[in-house]
Structure 1
Amino acid sequence: MSELNEMPGEELLAAVRDRRASVAEVAQSCLRRIEEREPQVHAFAHHDPDLVLRSARELDRHTRSAPLRGLPVGVKDLIDTVDQPSEYGSPIYRGRRPHSDAAVVTRLRAAGALVAGKTVTTEFALFHPGVTANPRDTARTPGGSSSGSAAAVADNMLAVAIGTQTAGSIIRPASFCGVVGFKPTFGAIDRTGVKLISSTLDTLGLFARNVTDIAMVYQAIRADSAGARPLSRRMNGRPSSRLGILRTDRQKADEGTRAAFDAFVARLDGFPGLESAEVLPPADFDHMVEAQTTVMEFEVARNLQYEYGEHGDLLSEPARAVIERGLKRSETEYVRAKRLAERIGAQLPRMFHGLDGIVTPAAMGEAPLGLAFTGDPLFCRTWTLLRCPALSLPLLRGAHGLPIGVQLVGRPHHDDALLATAAELMNSASSDS
């Protein structure tokens, strides 16, 4: 039998529900793994074993029915927690203690989840890295900005973790660490109590080791659970999922990623229940990356005005550079970028017509060596600006045998259908390998 910390979240919850394991035993299993691996991985910005055990025993005392009772979850340090510091990865906020939980943490606790610690974020969820290493190879970056969340899940410290994405901060770390990362439709999870850097882009999401656990936690914490669907949806013997292949940015990936992605695409039509078709993007689609960069930098500069003006000496050079680029961007440039996004967004129904999702590489390649560079979010920027739901699925391997994700993208507000497609794709790929 697997250690409790290694079990899928769904199985873990069943063990607690059936009293085959207590929440305290789950917590102790995770704490042993954290004690063993945290000195190498550094996934946590704040971790209090005594608090975790007290919280676990409280959940054991109150055995009310709750969908996530006993599930160990990490929370990115961009997100407020009343019982633990929230420092945003910045010395400006060292020791900051929030007066209340963020809305997503409130929902987690109400659902019975065990909040097991605050995971490392890059500084203000930008590009200056924290101390976290990739558990697949600690000489490499885990990606950013949700570095600790991806690493903790990949290393079996936790079943699930919460992250945020403004450019590629869920999809890219999930790809580098070999886990499932899910960025829902913009606004699907309430971001009240999360440090805002971009009102147009900031999106809360999830990491887990399988799609089922992502879907399970998402239903418990989303702002609107209407329209939830089961993950299996085969109908009338026809292929239940039709995937679009978008090759626009593929040439910008490294050689190993191109080869792995092309081999994956060549196998797709042989997967049970799946078929594929090439997708031609609308005109001006290739300008969306620059548009996302414009919107992000313009809004970051204004949302971090206080930090830049009052504590500029405590900002990293990369953070100052983003802010200063944003301050130089004009209102006209910003409005033009947003209008382009609206124009392309209006064409998404045509682009996705007859498709259950579009697949692209999730990252440029394997996790880069060293911890100073968290990787390029190129393949994520467009979809984040278009507010599309997206997942990184650990289906590829690079030249060094390290994971690379396949990014599966859906239409906004079709999250449940996309999760069902992701589950089918994972199952089909597994049965084919």
Structure 2
Amino acid sequence: MLSLLSLRARIEAGSLTPSQAVALTREAMAEHEPAVRALVATDPDPVVPETGPLAGIAVGIKDIIDTAHLPTQMGSTIHAGWQPRADAAIVARLKRLGAVPLAKTTTTAFAFIDPTETRNPRAPGRTPGGSSSGSAAAVAAGMLPLALGTQTGGSVIRPAAYCGVVGVKPSFRLLPTVGVKCFSWTLDTLGLFAASAADAARALALIAGRPEIERPASVPRIGLLLPEYCDPAEPEAFGALDRARAAAEAAGANIRAFTLPELFKEAFDQHATIQDFESAQALAWEYAAHRDDLPPLLRAHLDAAQAIDAASYDAARRVAHHARRSLRDILRSADIDVVLTLSAPGFAPDGYASTGDSRFNRLWTMMGVPCVTVPVPGDGPPLGVQIIAGFGHDERALSAAAFLEQALAARR
């Protein structure tokens, strides 16, 4: 994979110019894209700034995020060819840092679950996940050093695990969603895909303007969570979690069992009510004017969402709010820095009829806390584990992810 830090080190050392770095990325895209199908549009003549902390870094932009120089089609024929007049706030920020938004990456239609044609470069014949299919696959294939995704349920963490890359869902509202097609305003969160935890930490620190996010890996106090609020995972996922635990313990981490009270089962169950009620409003025009043009899973979802009333939605929001406040206190009293748990139920599903299951991600998206997927080496298709920190402590999540990444590499 292409490393953001490696490219920047070469640029700062004078052995590579920003233009040459972007040219390397374009060559990788030309080589791999015909098989991966991760891109929907590319800039044929990009402007490459020669200065800035991300100069020379080409970025993939999920195709629900507005770009003034490339169409934003949202994975749907309804918006085919639509060209925004302005960049989303996150794209404007990348440009100010010197980065080059080089390509739009595939998304499931309106970031729901109807699959794309994108292939998983690390697990042939298996889904790359979704909805940020193209961003995860492009980084995994070595076509891009950095890509943007979004998560409403598990659309960053799950495809990152399936494709064997690092995925970061930051704290809610750390990154601006202005100019991003809304599905659920309570849940939608911008995220990043990169080759390593250190790459992701550098990118997030710069984009958010918070240098404290990037800090050296340190030995964390870890709470090991085996989720009881949803159906269990497959054996291979538990195997990856056990390998991660063993590697962290061998590297000196203090690990203790961590559990959640029954409130969080109730909160997990309310995710769908919040998401579905809001999506019916966020996609009201598409549903009213183009229902027959929506893909089948999204169309059925919106059909059912019309029946959710405001009272049910308000009750679900109260449960979520109570759980968020409780989680803050629980993490403090548990005397841990991060939670280590599952990223996905197992290997990416065979075939392309499904983008996988987000049950190990939805609760944490609703809690608004930072999450990082770390790939776990092993035989067979990629697997990952998830590191979670308290709200606003993105630096803890990424530092612990870097520690675990190093521990796994040393153990291997």
Q: Does 1:387 align with 2:381?
A: no
Instruction: Compare 260-269 and 401-410 and name the one that shifted more.
Output: 260-269
Deviation per CA, 1:276-300, whole angstroms, max 9, x where unpaired?
1111202221122221111111110
Q: Pick which of 81-90 and 388-397 moved more.
A: 388-397
| 8 Å CA contact 2:243, 2:376 repeated in 1 | no
Aligned to 1:419: 398
Give the secondary-structure state (helix, strand or coil) at the position aligned to 1:359: strand
Distance in 2 of aligned mates of 1:321 and 1:412? 34
Question: Please, which of 109, 120, 124 is the counterpart of residue 138 of structure 1?
Answer: 124
Q: Offset of 1:178 from its aligned partner?
A: 0.2
Question: Which letter maps to 2:317?
Answer: K
**Mapped pair 1:170 → 2:156:** yes
1:186 corresponds to 2:172: yes
Tell me the distance in 1 between the aligned counterparts of 2:62 and 2:250.
39
Taking the aligned partners of 1:46 and 1:221, their CA distance within structure 2 comes to 23
Q: Could you tell me how far apart the structure 2 residues matched to 1:216 and 1:343 are?
A: 33
Within-5 A mapping of 1:41-56: 41-48=36-43, 50-52=44-46, 55-56=47-48
Secondary structure of 2:340's counterpart equals: strand
> What SS does the corresponding residue of 2:147 show, helix, strand or coil?
strand
For 2:315, the equivalent position in structure 1 comes to 336
1:403 CA displacement: 1.0
Cα RMSD (Å) of the superposition?
1.6
1:58-77 matches, cutoff 5 A = 59=49, 63-64=50-51, 66-77=52-63
Determine if the alignment matches structure 1 residue 360 to structure 2 residue 354.
no
Q: Give the aligned partner of residue 161 of structure 1.
A: 147
Question: Structure 1 residue 229: deviation in Å?
Answer: 4.5
Structure 1: distance between partners of 2:190 and 2:351: 27
Structure 1 residue 85 corresponds to structure 2 residue 66 = no
Which stretch of the first structure deviates more once superposed, 200-209 or 329-338? Answer: 329-338
Partners of 2:2 and 2:124 in 1: CA distance: 23
Change in Cα spacing, 1:269 to 1:364, as seen in structure 2 (3 Å) is same
CA distance in 1, matches of 2:12, 2:190: 28
Equivalences for 1:95-174 in 2 at 5 Å? 95-174=81-160
Provide the rounded CA distance (Å) in 2 between the counterparts of 1:351 and 1:425.
Answer: 23
Bigger mean CA offset, 337-346 vs 258-267: 258-267
For the residues of structure 1 that align with 2:5 and 2:149, how far apart are their CA atoms?
Answer: 20
Structure 2 letter corresponding to 1:384: T
The Cα shift of 1:46 comes to 0.8
Residues 2 and 144 in structure 2, CA contact (< 8 A), matched pair in contact too: no
Structure 1 Cα separation of the partners of residues 106 and 323 of structure 2: 34
Shift of 1:23: 2.2
SS of the residue 2:66 aligns to? coil
- Give how far 1:175 is off: 0.2
Q: Distance in 1 between matches of 2:74 and 2:361?
A: 22
1:188-337 equivalences under 5 Å are 188-222=174-208, 225=210, 228-232=212-216, 234=218, 240-249=219-228, 252-272=232-252, 274-337=253-316
Report sequence identity in percent: 36
Q: Deviations over 1:200-221 (max 9, x none)?
A: 0000010001011111111222
Deviation at 1:256, TM superposition (A): 1.9
In structure 2, C-alpha distance between the alignment counterparts of 1:419 and 1:92, rounded to whole Å: 38
Give yes or no for contact 2:63–2:105 (8 Å, CA) kept in 1: yes
State the TM-score, normalizing by the size of structure 1.
0.91
Deviation at 1:102, TM superposition (A): 0.4
Residue number in structure 2 paired with 1:237: none
340 and 29 in structure 1: CA distance in 2 versus 1, 3 angstrom threshold: same
- The whole-number CA distance in structure 1 between the counterparts of 2:11 and 2:410 is 29
- The answer as to whether partners of 1:107 and 1:220 remain within 8 angstroms in 2 is no
Amino acid paired to 1:395: V
Distance 2:247 2:35 in 1: 37
1:169 counterpart SS class: coil
- Secondary structure, counterpart of 2:92 in structure 1: helix
Q: Which amino acid aligns with 2:398?
A: L
Give aligned pairs, total: 409
Query: 2:407 maps to which residue?
Result: 428
2: CA distance, partners of 1:351 / 1:204: 26
